[in-house]
C-alpha cells in the first residue's frame, strides 16, 4: 500500500521543497514542481533568471525533495515523502517547452494547476519577465525514498524500495 500512497502524494502535491547545497555546504531550499518519470528519475526546471540551483548541483549533485504541502492536491489524509538523490543540471538552455515529451507533460501539469501563470506569456508578461520560459533542465536520480503515512515527522518513516517509485503509463 505504501508505494501507491507515496506515488499519489508525489503526483498530486503541487510543489515539493527542493534542496541543493551551496558552496559552503549550507542547504538552500526552494519550492518547485517536479515530475516523476517512467524511469524513476524526476524532472524539474529552473529559469536562467534563477540559476543558483543549477550552479549548486554542478558543484555538488546531492539534493533532496520533500513532498509535504498538500494544499490543492485533493488528498484528505495527507502524508509526506522525502526523496534524496543525485541531480544533473546541464548547461543546455531550453526555450521550447514541447521539445521533450516529459518536459511538455510537466509544463502542461503546472499550467493547469496555476492558471495565473498565463500572465507570463502575455505581451506585458513577456517583456517584464522575459527569462521565465528560458529554462535549464534538472534531473534527479533517487537513492533513498522515505514515506510518512501522516505528517507526523517525529514518527519513524518507512523506507521504500526504489524500484517501486516510478511513473506508470
Partner 1 sequence: MWAEAAKWLNKFPDAVLTVTDGDGYPFSVRVSTSPYDGATGELPVSLPDAVDGAEGPANLLCHSHDEKLWNLQLITVKGIFEKHDGAWLFRSESFVPPSKLAILDFVRNARRSAHRYLGKRGLPRPDVNWDSIKGIQRRAKA
Give the shortest CB-67-to-partner 1 separation in angstroms: 10
Residue whose CB is less far from partner 1, 39 or 104 = 104
Residue whose CB is less far from partner 1, 34 or 85 = 85
Give the shortest CB-166-to-partner 1 separation in angstroms: 20
Q: What is the DSSP string of the chain?
A: -HHHHHHHHHHH-S-EEEEEE-TTS-EEEEEE--EE-TTS-EEEEEETTSTHHHHHHHH--EEEEEE---TTS--SS--EEEEEEEEEEEEEEE--TTSSHHHHHHHHHHHHH-GGGGGGGSHHHHHHTTTTT-EEEEEEEEEEEEEESSS-TTSPPEEEPGGG-S---
* Cα-Cα-Cα-Cα dihedral sign, residues 46, 49, 53, 54: positive
How many residues form the binding site for partner 1 (CB under 8 A)?
A: 71
Rounded CA separation 70/80 (Å): 9
Q: Which of residues 38-97 bind partner 1 (CB under 8 A)?
A: 47-51, 62-64, 66, 68-69, 71-72, 80, 82, 84-85, 91, 93, 95-97
Rg (CA), the chain: 16
Among 4, 59, 144, 164, binds partner 1 (CB under 8 A): 144
Q: Which of residues 13-42 bind partner 1 (CB under 8 A)?
A: 14-15, 17, 19-21, 24-31, 33
String of contacts with partner 1 for each residue 92-131, x by CB under 8 A = -x-xxxxx----x--xxxxxxxxxxxx--x----x-xxxx
Give the shortest CB-49-to-partner 1 separation in angstroms: 3
Give the shortest CB-114-to-partner 1 separation in angstroms: 4
Give the shortest CB-120-to-partner 1 separation in angstroms: 9
Amino acid at each position: 500500500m505504501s508505494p501507491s500512497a507515496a506515488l499519489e502524494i508525489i503526483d498530486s502535491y503541487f510543489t515539493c521543497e527542493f534542496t541543493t547545497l551551496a558552496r559552503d555546504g549550507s542547504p538552500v531550499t526552494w519550492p518547485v514542481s517536479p515530475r516523476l518519470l517512467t524511469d524513476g528519475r524526476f524532472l524539474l526546471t529552473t529559469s536562467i533568471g534563477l540559476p543558483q540551483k543549477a550552479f549548486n548541483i554542478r558543484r555538488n549533485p546531492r539534493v533532496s525533495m520533500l513532498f509535504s504541502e498538500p494544499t490543492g492536491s485533493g488528498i484528505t489524509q495527507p502524508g509526506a515523502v522525502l526523496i534524496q538523490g543525485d541531480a544533473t543540471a546541464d548547461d543546455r538552455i531550453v526555450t521550447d517547452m514541447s521539445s521533450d515529451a516529459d518536459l511538455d507533460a510537466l509544463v502542461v501539469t503546472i499550467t493547469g494547476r496555476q492558471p495565473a501563470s498565463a500572465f507570463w506569456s502575455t505581451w506585458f508578461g513577456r517583456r517584464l519577465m522575459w527569462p521565465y520560459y528560458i529554462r535549464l533542465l534538472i534531473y534527479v536520480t533517487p537513492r533513498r525514498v522515505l514515506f510518512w503515512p501522516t505528517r507526523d515527522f517525529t514518527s519513524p518513516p518507512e523506507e521504500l524500495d526504489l524500484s517501486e517509485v516510478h511513473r506508470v503509463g
